[in-house]
Structure 1
């Protein structure tokens, strides 16, 4: 008896013109665009993604060279609905290949295939069957010669491998060749490694980040109640004007309101719509207790009478014009203050949407910067994500629970588009909690904190489900900066103007990098603001320790090592120029400066950062606030007595610590600081002046001690 072969679960059927692009069991998204058919010119991929902030992508087959369209359609359908064999994936190193990929990765892969097809067409090739290993080699060299980055080339070679691998599972294989890098490795096809991703993102300049955060927190903490009250009043007014019954009394009230004002040329309540001033119909209707259609009726009647040359109460000459300069203040209290005065006299009806949008943007800035979350993680938060702490729990910290998407994998190691709940929650300091509470007042219960519909104007409400898009937030941040600067100029707050960042637009991705930069390089302060930030490294980074690496920890490690490398290099230059150092750890610091080349040429990523940080002999930390260096040793550190941390608490430096090092520059800064304190003390009342002069004397003693005990590179033993 002949055994019947078991069907291969990885081999795919051949789709027909009406076959859905995405299998029903693979649909996880809630896109309004729906599923496409195999023969459609556009294949939306939204239904593959459960990420509320994921990009809306579509494969457009009109962009594919026509001669390759049939082959690539089938290959793309196979990749969407199939998965690679586990045996093939296991052969790949470092988890470089997944059985299934995310919608965004899938979209990028198909774009690479289309680029390959366009290049093949220029070479006179019209079928993937002719794309043998030599041709694939030539294409990879073509990409390298074009100046493509290492990251782009890695993705391109992986895309071509995936094209070949799925061809083995196709019901109609095209016969594309096996890439040679599958046998010899891909490194020979790639340029030298350089920092990429977040590590290559420039932090925001202090001069930009400081006032930006100040304005964001001011809007959230001081103006939010007024803005939300105005928004609620706007919604009430619009609903009332539309639902009020049309009565003779209401119509007469509109006549009595409009006719005298029009005849006298007085300002009428007006709003700006699409750059044009128009009568505020709903505002007038609500003011007089009429229906908005009755306002339209009266205005139309007045216009018709004037056009026919008829008068209303007395003869009137000239064209029919309306004075559309009147304000429309909402009946909402103004309690917020700036410089001790109300921040504005009132909120007009056409300002309600704009200010609500700025409030949401301000909340995003606060949450994104002060937690270190990725933009997608912030946009994935929902109401209730940050409950008040249980008084019996002990810690008292507010914790934020939400999903992570970038590194979300299922049990087979494939990307999980719906995300997974983060194993360890984020820690929220007070400004973040305030921002979340404001957002919870904007959106419905259970909704995303940045729900696109709730953060849009009622007239332009988006039909799409999900969160505000990154591109939209990018524009809103720029708009927020312009508004804040205009506000600052109007209130003579020149020192609070947000300057342009030298590295370009603020965007949404730079906040994490900026946070890591400030934690590593500006201990004891938050940009230039007195926010409870001294312990934020412990609050933000320490909370991730129980889940190993990941989150912002890696970014903090990278930024810390970069700061240490700069500190070691500066110290080496100082010593080479004949400068001196003092302090209990001075000789060790000289040895560290001599070993500075350990950082030279190293690509600082998470892996190299951990390796370098493990070598305590080369770790030297700058503390600009205390005018010293720290050559950290846990066993003698006075900032750490719990024996847990492997990094210094630079916000708690003590001058008598055995890890202290001072340079000639620090001594000079101590003297300048002492001069400033003495000057202030001379103009301060008794007890305060005495304290300032006492602090100045202490700083001078540190500087004098340095001058008497300094050692140099040439004479380390003296």
Structure 2
């Protein structure tokens, strides 16, 4: 039985569901969604009909978590939550971000919060939601927030609890949930007094450069250098498997099998083998395809010769090896058994390249499809047409699980284009680049949608382990990937790390930072260069956060060095002291959800933000009108790659002058062993560094003299 929305005077009211009612009514299921639905009476409610994002897990509600006495009431309101929508008059009191319907994941979290309340009430002896008084609501909130929890999280929790009352009002026969007191008196008195933690994507730590450097190097090496070999090996493996299953049992095949295996068996050589359930067994598919016999004949040979655990040998594929490491082939041959693993690592490498070198969110990468990055007809830049999913709503404010195409495409640099081309060779035309059905290379299971976050994270960890084994076997232990000090490498850390490198390593070698450094002006101008607009919370908000953190760190180091007695010089010395005093201090690395806006406001303080430039051995007290690096009209940071002598924003400390003198000595040593033309240039650069250091020492003052 399918229930429709009530058609009386109030279109927001829903009838009481019956045991056979669908969990999700048809009007909320998109046309292409084929995920299974459920019935009201069942113990598990699938929420797949509400989920269209390719990389999203298919959430479910398990009713075993709810106490029996209150389950029927929580069930009814949850069904209204899944199929109803809040009234506009109610939403007006909830703030500008309130929506009539949330996503499937949000609905599940709301339901589980209601179940948590039900368990607390059950323990307190309350058997009906009608009996939940203001005192019970207040006591539950106090108990719920007894552990350390941020005010933001606590506010969301109180909002979810208020929704239990709000959605109950949308049933023609409500269960009678009482109104929480914070709906009448405000929530301030029910929130924790302080916020030590706040969630949000900006709480994610960037990857350590010592981790990211070799990881990205191997990812690009895999895509650029090994992809052809791996894809050829995979195609050959599939071809051999097809041959093995189609080969008939013939006398000629049996003779060829004996001629292939008996000499190896007599000589004590390893036989083509594979692992199966922890045991070593003959690789029947490889042998059958190689000699032209049937799989049954190979099994018969194994039984006749009692080869339950044969001495393992390789299964070499007849494909050329073209990839190299340090000028030598990276494999003597590609192996039948290794092909699925290499395919998995190749797709992971392409994923890492796409994640890091675009700045996309993980769900945006998961939503990429074959054909998303066509070759430009006019020889211009490659652009990626993709979907975004965060905070996407329709004209009525309803959450859109399928997302929408970005108004501004992403710009794809060469490594990303190559990664996409490799992925397009793995999946059919128009298919998701990370389709689960086409990336299960070992078992070939036909999952729906894209690879999920947990699976992608596991693949990254497996790829790192493979890199370290490969680096060791190739005699390159210095190219291994060390453990990150902040834990496992996760999908969400790449985006933050990109912002870290743009903000802090504009001239560095790690992760093509030079190229991204050259895009700094474009990013700050907020033009349509492929990184989205602020309304989409693109890479700019993350970049602002990381840049503000870097500026605050620079201010802290300046304060510390001046406190130890270092002197300061430069035309912007007084402004630098003012900026150092006024800069915010951050405890730890946690960033609140509001910090992106605060960071943008902080960076907009023209002339009072400090930027460290280790390549030029100075600090820039950035003021647009003084800058010689030609920043854009709306720039909030300098073009550090184009730092020029004589700029009115520059300041130096004694430590900067000492760095210049050390660089002077290094350049002179290089000049002593360089050809004459190069030696002259090196000595000229060394002399310029020495003059700059001497100027600092001649004009520097202690901080007290400038205040």
**TM-score, normalising length: structure 2:** 0.93
8 Å CA contact retained: 2:373, 2:385 = yes
8 Å CA contact retained: 1:31, 1:465 = no
Q: How does 1:351-430 map to 2 (within 5 A)?
A: 351-391=338-378, 396-430=380-414
8 Å CA contact retained: 1:18, 1:37 = yes
Q: How does 1:271-350 map to 2 (within 5 A)?
A: 271-303=274-306, 323-350=310-337
Cα separation, 2, equivalents of 1:159 and 1:645 = 41
Query: Which of 559, 565, 569 in structure 1 is aligned with 2:556?
Result: 569
SS of the residue corresponding to residue 275 of structure 2 reads strand
Counterpart position of 1:309: none
Counterpart position of 2:533: 547
Cα separation, 1, equivalents of 2:437 and 2:383 = 26
2:476 corresponds to 1:493: yes
SS of the residue corresponding to residue 393 of structure 2 reads coil
Give the C-alpha shift of residue 688 in structure 1. 2.8
**Pair 1:79–1:73, CA change in 2 (3 A):** same
- Cα-to-partner distance string for 1:631-663 (whole Å, 9 max, x where unaligned): 122223221165453421111111222221111
Cα separation, 2, equivalents of 1:546 and 1:530 = 19
Cα separation, 2, equivalents of 1:171 and 1:559 = 51
Counterpart position of 1:79: 81
Q: How does 1:31-110 map to 2 (within 5 A)?
A: 34-95=36-97, 97-110=98-111
8 Å CA contact retained: 2:504, 2:547 = yes
2:232 corresponds to 1:220: no
2:173 corresponds to 1:172: yes
SS of the residue corresponding to residue 705 of structure 2 reads coil
Cα separation, 2, equivalents of 1:358 and 1:185 = 53
Q: How does 1:424-443 map to 2 (within 5 A)?
A: 424-443=408-427
Cα separation, 1, equivalents of 2:310 and 2:89 = 77
**Pair 1:79–1:424, CA change in 2 (3 A):** same
Cα separation, 1, equivalents of 2:649 and 2:498 = 26
8 Å CA contact retained: 1:32, 1:463 = no
Counterpart position of 2:450: 467
SS of the residue corresponding to residue 371 of structure 1 reads coil
**Pair 1:153–1:644, CA change in 2 (3 A):** closer
Cα separation, 2, equivalents of 1:246 and 1:32 = 43
8 Å CA contact retained: 2:24, 2:82 = yes
Q: How does 1:128-143 map to 2 (within 5 A)?
A: 128-143=129-144
SS of the residue corresponding to residue 28 of structure 1 reads coil
In terms of mean alpha carbon deviation, does 323-332 or 218-227 score higher? 323-332
Counterpart position of 1:521: 504
Cα separation, 1, equivalents of 2:566 and 2:44 = 67
Give the C-alpha shift of residue 597 in structure 1. 5.3
Give the C-alpha shift of residue 708 in structure 1. 0.9
What stretches of structure 1 of length at least 5 have no aligned partner?
304-319
Cα separation, 2, equivalents of 1:510 and 1:356 = 24
**Pair 1:353–1:544, CA change in 2 (3 A):** closer
Cα separation, 2, equivalents of 1:701 and 1:27 = 72
Cα separation, 2, equivalents of 1:417 and 1:608 = 29
SS of the residue corresponding to residue 261 of structure 1 reads helix
Give the C-alpha shift of residue 526 in structure 1. 4.5
SS of the residue corresponding to residue 92 of structure 1 reads coil
SS of the residue corresponding to residue 337 of structure 2 reads helix
2:594 corresponds to 1:624: no
Counterpart position of 2:3: none
**Pair 1:269–1:102, CA change in 2 (3 A):** same
Cα separation, 1, equivalents of 2:531 and 2:623 = 20
- Cα-to-partner distance string for 1:269-309 (whole Å, 9 max, x where unaligned): 11122332111111111111223233223333444xxxxxx
Give the C-alpha shift of residue 578 in structure 1. 2.8
- Cα-to-partner distance string for 1:482-506 (whole Å, 9 max, x where unaligned): 1101111112212211110111111
Give the count of matched residue pairs. Answer: 692
**Pair 1:238–1:351, CA change in 2 (3 A):** same
What stretches of structure 2 of length at least 5 have no aligned partner?
1-6
8 Å CA contact retained: 1:270, 1:327 = yes
8 Å CA contact retained: 1:51, 1:418 = yes
Cα separation, 2, equivalents of 1:554 and 1:234 = 46
SS of the residue corresponding to residue 113 of structure 2 reads helix
Counterpart position of 2:149: 148
8 Å CA contact retained: 2:607, 2:622 = no
Give the C-alpha shift of residue 236 in structure 1. 0.9
8 Å CA contact retained: 2:33, 2:52 = no
Cα separation, 1, equivalents of 2:522 and 2:212 = 21
**TM-score, normalising length: structure 1:** 0.92
Counterpart position of 1:308: none
Counterpart position of 2:487: 504
Cα separation, 1, equivalents of 2:480 and 2:587 = 39
8 Å CA contact retained: 2:280, 2:309 = no
- Cα-to-partner distance string for 1:14-59 (whole Å, 9 max, x where unaligned): 1111111111222238777611111111111112110011122111
**Pair 1:228–1:79, CA change in 2 (3 A):** same
Counterpart position of 2:685: 695
- Cα-to-partner distance string for 1:50-106 (whole Å, 9 max, x where unaligned): 0011122111111211111111111111111111112211222232x3111101101
Give the C-alpha shift of residue 149 in structure 1. 3.3
8 Å CA contact retained: 1:332, 1:347 = yes
Q: How does 1:190-205 map to 2 (within 5 A)?
A: 190-191=191-192, 192-193=194-195, 194-205=197-208
8 Å CA contact retained: 1:268, 1:322 = no
Give the C-alpha shift of residue 321 in structure 1. 6.1
Cα separation, 1, equivalents of 2:415 and 2:681 = 32
Cα separation, 1, equivalents of 2:541 and 2:110 = 27
Give the C-alpha shift of residue 264 in structure 1. 4.3
Cα separation, 2, equivalents of 1:30 and 1:215 = 38
8 Å CA contact retained: 2:216, 2:511 = no
Give the C-alpha shift of residue 669 in structure 1. 1.1
Counterpart position of 1:18: 20
2:625 corresponds to 1:635: yes
8 Å CA contact retained: 1:230, 1:330 = yes
8 Å CA contact retained: 1:478, 1:506 = yes
